[in-house]
């Protein structure tokens, strides 16, 4: 990255994202994305084969906000906590597209799920491959792409990874 302050802002973006997901502060989740920001959850096999099928593909912040509504108001499930463990992000490249600076970064992640009355288990693990832009409100995801390693996801995906 060009400077220390930008890298610290990138670290803050990654850690704050995990904190919001772990604390179930779903109203804050869309604020991590640009207006046309996308969130994708895709199996590694599909990603590596260039197959577009995702388990979850939200193609705008409006769709992300709709997912928040679904999580809070319409989905019923056995409650659980989740805990994100995210590696240090690595900047792949920085480019300017149509006058907008993009940072392409990646970080490994593990999500632990703990049911209220049960054990903690590894729920999902993989890598984030992100397209991040600097806005007037700080760094935001133009794309948060969570590529998970296993072909199967236990139960269902309710909360964002």
Question: Look-up: residue for tokens 């084969």?
Answer: 49
Q: Which two tokens stand for residue 91?
A: 């900047």
| 145: phi then psi, degrees, rounded to nearest 5 | -115, 105
Q: What is the pLDDT along the chain (161 residues), one digit of tens a residue?
A: 779 999 999 999 999 999 999 999 999 999 999 999 999 999 999 999 999 999 999 999 999 999 999 888 876 777 789 999 999 999 999 999 999 999 999 999 999 999 888 889 999 999 999 999 999 999 999 999 999 998 777 667 888 89
Q: Full-prediction pTM beyond 0.85?
A: yes
33-43 and 80-86 beta bridge pairing: unpaired
All domains of the chain in start order, with CATH: 4-148 (3.10.450.50)
| 64: phi then psi, degrees, rounded to nearest 5 | -65, -45
CB 32, CB 13: distance < 8 Å: yes
């Amino acid at each position: 990255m060009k400077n220390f302050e930008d890298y610290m802002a990138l670290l803050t973006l990654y850690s704050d994202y995990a904190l919001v997901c772990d604390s179930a502060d779903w109203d804050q989740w869309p604020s991590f994305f640009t207006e046309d920001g996308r969130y994708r959850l895709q199996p590694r096999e599909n990603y590596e084969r260039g197959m577009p099928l995702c388990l979850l593909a939200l193609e705008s912040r409006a769709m992300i906000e709709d997912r928040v509504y679904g999580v809070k108001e319409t989905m019923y499930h056995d409650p659980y906590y989740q805990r994100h463990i995210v590696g240090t992000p690595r900047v792949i490249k920085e480019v300017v597209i149509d006058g907008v600076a993009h940072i392409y970064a990646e970080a490994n992640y593990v999500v632990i799920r703990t049911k209220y009355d049960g054990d903690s288990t590894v729920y999902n693990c993989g890598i984030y491959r992100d397209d991040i832009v600097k806005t007037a409100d700080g760094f935001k995801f133009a794309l948060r792409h969570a590529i998970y390693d296993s072909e199967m996801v236990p139960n269902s995906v309710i909360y964002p990874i």
